[in-house]
């Protein structure tokens, strides 16, 4: 569950709850559109994520020329991106992730499949050869915490601001209980679960740019 909220008061509440910090990472997500259907219409997503450990707190730089992303969906203007790390850094890890349609109206719960990419450039080339086209890019700084069995992510998203996201792993049989636990933890953090945002950061960036 994701809510737009400033991070400063949340940090104090996380400390009071005994949350354990699990790290700070930069994430850069390149999203693709399928050749045979509109992922926005089917509520699916396919992305390549580049993730690197944060050493400075500086924002991402753009690792690909802007003309490699469809201009109508270029969600982050290149002149807003500052350099912070080299794309070939050994600390960078890349993943291919597929997200299926949301399975319920009250949360962001959905099927997700993810694999590690030893060669993300090759995977991007394969996807484009198969007709999958880059459609948007999202960059954020994520601070991860673990509390009460849930992950709390404090996201600073370029072009959007600060968000708090609470997630828990759930099977078919305990989905409702995990969703209720997420709502309860949001309340303990001083946030209103009814204000949760079900749209992805990519969707929010497109809305902000329209």
Q: What is the pLDDT at residue 39?
A: 94
Give the Cα-Cα-Cα angle 138, 122, 117 (nearest 5 degrees). 65
**CATH number of the domain that 83 lies in?**
2.40.320.10
Q: Domain tally for the chain?
A: 1
Helix segments in the chain, DSSP class H = 7-16, 39-42, 120-129, 175-188, 201-209
Q: Which domain holds residue 151?
A: 2-209
Q: Which of 147, 175, 31 is nearest to 164 (CA)?
A: 147
Give the CA distances from residue 78 to residues 5, 97, 158, in Å, rounded to whole numbers and listed in that order. 26, 24, 11
| Contact indicator for 169, 112 with CB cutoff of 8 Å | no
Q: Which residues of the chain have pLDDT under 70?
A: 55-90, 104-108, 170-172, 210
pLDDT digits (tens, 9 = 90+) for 161-204: 999 999 987 666 777 888 899 999 999 999 999 999 988 999 99
Instruction: Please state, in angstroms and rounded to a whole number, the distance separating the CA atoms of residues 72 and 136.
Output: 9
Q: What is the pLDDT at residue 55?
A: 60
Supply 92's token pair: 């960078």
């Amino acid at each position: 569950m994701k809510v737009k909220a400033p991070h400063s008061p949340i940090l104090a509440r996380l400390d009071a709850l005994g949350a354990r910090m699990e790290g700070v990472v930069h994430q850069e997500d390149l999203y693709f559109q399928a050749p045979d259907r509109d992922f926005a219409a089917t509520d699916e997503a396919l992305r390549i994520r580049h993730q690197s450990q944060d050493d400075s707190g500086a924002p991402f730089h753009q690792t690909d020329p802007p003309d490699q992303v469809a201009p109508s969906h270029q969600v982050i203007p290149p002149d807003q991106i500052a350099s912070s790390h080299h794309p070939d850094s050994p600390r960078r890890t890349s993943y291919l992730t597929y997200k299926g349609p949301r399975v319920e109206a009250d949360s962001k719960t959905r099927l997700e499949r993810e694999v590690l990419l030893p060669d993300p450039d090759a995977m991007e080339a394969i996807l484009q050869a198969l007709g999958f086209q880059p459609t948007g890019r999202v960059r954020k700084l994520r601070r991860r915490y673990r509390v009460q069995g849930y992950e709390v992510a404090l996201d600073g998203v370029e072009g959007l601001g600060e968000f708090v996201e609470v997630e828990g792993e759930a099977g078919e049989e305990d989905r409702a209980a995990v969703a209720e636990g997420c709502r309860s933890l949001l309340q303990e953090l001083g946030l209103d679960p009814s204000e949760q945002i079900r749209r992805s950061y990519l969707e929010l960036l497109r809305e902000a740019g329209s």
